[in-house]
Structure 1
Amino acid sequence: MDSGHCGMLNEDGIHVDMDRLKKGEVNLGTSIMAVTFKDGVILGADSRTTTGAYIANRVTDKLTRVHDTIWCCRSGSAADTQAVADVVQYQLGLFAMHSGKPPMTQTAASIFQELCYANKDQLSAGLIIAGWDERFGGQVYSIPLGGSLHKQKYAIGGSGSTYIYGYCDANWREGMEEADAVNFVKGALREAIRWDGSSGGVIRMVVLTRKGADRHLYLPDTDYAVTYGAYYLRISLRFASCSLNVIIVLFACA
């Protein structure tokens, strides 16, 4: 595991080889990133998924919970990354149940790395794992294609990361306050979405600290300026569920 060059992105950015995707496979395209700050870590991602030139989903959630304060950002094949995340979530659940204590972020990153390396010829997956634990605080690990593991102060990945290397190098500061770190992530993802055709939609974030996970949502119609927290997400899901129920009833009565 390479713990040197923390925060340097010249060789550790995650890029996905598009030729490895199967015909018609849903691709997360993507702009993903994770940063450490004074009290924890922040993960962020856009929400666009594509199948070739077709936008398959405009509001995909690329931030996946694998334990209470350990999450991952997914890029590459949607199916591959979801399958790997599901396996890791199961393994961490077993670990917590048997040991009686929450797993460390390093443990989760090692499981991700083992799975990606053992199946490197079959998987198209670029992952960023970030979390907070009592022993080491906030940590960020990146796993590019091939299954190597890199510990960093911050990591960026996906097709949109190509356009924000300079932005991140110029604006990154170690030990930022939460508000500054949120603005850093939001600014980087806004630039990636602006220039990368495979990135778009809303910006999602997860802030992980000693207090747990706090989700943020930023919409493009406000130029990603307004924060919609967990309450807005719950209300949106509730309305979506009600709308689906109404549609089902209408079809049943037709």
Structure 2
Amino acid sequence: MVASMDVPAKGGFSFDLCPRNGMLEKKGLKVPGFRKTGTTIVGLVFADGVVLGADTRATEGPIVADKNCEKIHYMAPNIYCCGAGTAADTEAVTDIKVMLALPLFSVELIVLDHIYTRFIHMVPQTLPFATMGSGSLAAMSVFESKYKEGLTREEGIQLVSEAICAGIFNDLGSGSNVDVCVITKGKTEYLRNHQLPNPTTYVSSKGYNFVQGQTEVLSTKITSLKMKGEVTIGDAMEE
């Protein structure tokens, strides 16, 4: 007779709290929302290796938090991954060199001669090209219409750059510049800010010339506020 022993719970989703959450929602507790993230990341296989690319816009909801962040992360001399999702999670995961699927977090893992893409709750897939992030549909349209086997290095870089630009110009969550990483046998090239498709070219026709650290005050309006329960001298005299 084998003695019974406690077996650790298997991994996966637990729905034990679903009845409780439903009851709290019926009582008026608002279910927490989620924040939409934005990114365009791509990768393709060319004749001698792989090319991957990413935009450089980091957002916090509707706010552009960083115009030139890095989304291509080093994992090993011939292994890089592009992060799409919660930036803190992508950096933490790649720092420990482990591939995970976290909430609101998906990554593309690019290995020499192959592209492995992993979506949330899905097993890795090996593909000749892949796109992810909120701008992935725009980028995929470029790949599906122009990708071919046996691309040269220059053709691969050009196609990746074009796909990232498609995300930058058609997705509000993507923007700024184009980063490219080329991985070949025994060599890796990280082309930081390979393209700058959004240069600042606006020049005011009025010829403003502000002194650094100083902005002209056009008008001033001061409104006196009265705290609740506070009585001013004028009010007291009227009473």
Q: 4+ runs of 1 displaced by more than 4 Å?
A: 19-23
In structure 1, distance between residues paired with 2:142 and 2:85:
23
1:71–1:129 CA contact under 8 A, matched in 2: yes
1:207 equivalent in alignment to 2:182: yes
C-alpha separation between the residues in 1 aligned to 2:72 and 2:37? Answer: 11
1:69 matched to 2:78: yes
Q: Structure 2 vs 1, CA of residues 221 and 22 (structure 1 numbering), >3 Å: closer, same or farther? A: closer
8 A Cα contact 2:46 2:151, kept in partner: yes
Q: Give the superposition deviation at 1:148.
A: 2.2
**Residue 20 to residue 130, structure 1, CA distance change in 2 (3 Å):** farther
> Which 5+ residue runs of structure 2 have no aligned equivalent?
1-30, 201-239
Structure 2: distance between partners of 1:147 and 1:66: 21
Residue 196 of structure 2 corresponds to: 219
> What RMSD over aligned residues (CA atoms) do the two structures have, in Å?
2.2
Deviation, 1:210, is 1.4
Assess if the C-alpha contact under 8 Å between 2:54 and 2:180 holds in 1: yes
Shift of 1:86: 1.3
Q: Match for residue 196 of structure 1?
A: 171
CA deviation profile, 1:154-189 (whole Å, cap 9, x unmatched): 110000012233221110101111111111101111
Establish whether residue 185 from structure 1 lines up as the match of residue 185 from structure 2.
Answer: no
Matches within 5 A, 1:15-94: 29-88=38-97
**Structure 2 equivalent of residue 103 of structure 1:** none
Deviation at 1:55, TM superposition (A): 0.3
Question: Residue 186 of structure 1 aligns to which amino acid in structure 2?
Answer: S
Report which structure shows greater RCO (CA 8 Å, sep ≥6). 1
Give the greater-gyration-radius structure (CA): 2
CA deviation map 1:127-155 (0-9, x unaligned): 111122xxxxx110101112421111111
**TM-score between both structures, scaled by the size of structure 1:** 0.62
1:79 deviates by 1.3
Aligned to 2:141: 166
Asked whether the equivalents of residues 43 and 51 of structure 2 are also in contact (C-alpha less than 8 Å), the reply is yes
How has the CA–CA distance of structure 1 residues 142 and 160 changed in structure 2, closer, same or farther, with 3 Å as cutoff? Answer: same
Would you say the 8 A contact 1:21–1:124 is kept in 2?
no
Q: Does 1:175 align with 2:150?
A: yes
Secondary structure at the counterpart of residue 214 of structure 1: strand
Note if 1:156 corresponds to 2:131: yes
Give the count of matched residue pairs.
Answer: 168
- Measure the CA separation in 1 of the matches of 2:74 and 2:195: 19
Q: Which amino acid aligns with 2:143?
A: C
